[in-house]
Amino acid sequence: MKKIKWLFSFKYIYIISLIYFFLGYFYPNLLQINNIYLYIKEYFGIYEKLLWIFLVGYGFSMFMKNPNKRVVLKTRLFFMIILGIATGYLYLLDSLKEQMEGTMDSIQQYVIQVGLLNINLGYIELYTFLKIFPNVKTNVFAGSLIFIIFLSVIVICGKMIRKLILSVVNFFRGQILRIKEERRLKEEQIRLEKQAKLEKDIYDEICNIQKAYQEKDLLEMEVKEANLEEIPENDLILQVNISQEFEENLENIVVENEEDKEDKENDIERIDEDDDISIQIPEKERDISTVGISTAN
């Protein structure tokens, strides 16, 4: 039962019919025998190619699982046919600019000549155009056709146009951002150069200060070394002077000691002499006393 249902489903019948239709262009079949392809070419003209695209696209939409995508594809296929018909009408209307003052018969002959011989729009296109043109103002008809063409292009190529617009916008945005980035990088480079120059100046100043301090330290060390070299010489001179003074003082002290010694010796001698005199005087007195005692007796 499922196989029978599968065989009689619309999409498979459509696909089988479509394959049979295209095989008729290469192999004889019932459609080719009945001149169906010749009628299609005469009535559709250059729109025969659009018919092929529509039939294939419609069959492909039947196998799409996403219903939204399926609806979008079918809508684009229908608007593709509308776009082709509106473009053919606009072409015929533009060709009739120089024939507007002529009669309706001359206009019809000119439309048939241009539509069939020049681009082969097909009988259906020419017939519908000749039915609409006398009943509608030229400006209104041209404006309506331009609006339909514009709308059809938007519907058919909306995604592509949106991507194109976004790509153009993104391109200009990228250019603007690139210019801003280049400007920012340039400013950043200038700022870094100024900062590097300032740091270099500060570093040079610090180096100069350190160099000045080092020179000062070296100068102080040299002064200290010079002072240290001068101090021993002065000390030596001082020591020599002191030693000379000490020797002189020592000699003076020795001389003074000798003089004192001599003085002392002289004093001792004098004292000894005095002692001798003192001793001598009592003896005389003793003699005198003895003499007196003896006299008394």
For residues 146 and 65, what is the distance between their CA atoms, to the nearest angstrom? 35
pLDDT at position 290: 40
For residues 48 and 37, what is the distance between their CA atoms, to the nearest angstrom? 10
Q: How far is CA 278 from CA 23, 273, 283, 290, in A?
A: 191, 9, 9, 19
pLDDT at position 295: 38
Q: How far is CA 143 from CA 7, 90, 124, 147, in A?
A: 48, 10, 22, 6
Residuewise pLDDT in 10s, the chain (297 residues): 555 555 567 778 888 888 888 888 888 888 888 888 888 888 888 888 888 999 898 888 888 888 888 888 889 899 999 999 999 888 888 888 777 666 777 878 888 888 888 888 888 888 888 888 888 888 888 899 999 999 988 888 877 878 888 888 888 888 898 898 889 889 888 988 888 888 888 888 888 888 877 777 787 787 777 766 654 544 544 444 544 554 555 556 545 555 655 665 555 455 455 444 443 444 444 443 343 434 333
pLDDT at position 250: 52
User: Shortest CA distance to 149 belongs to which of 242, 198, 81?
Assistant: 81
Answer for the pair 14, 59: CB distance below 8 angstroms, yes or no.
yes
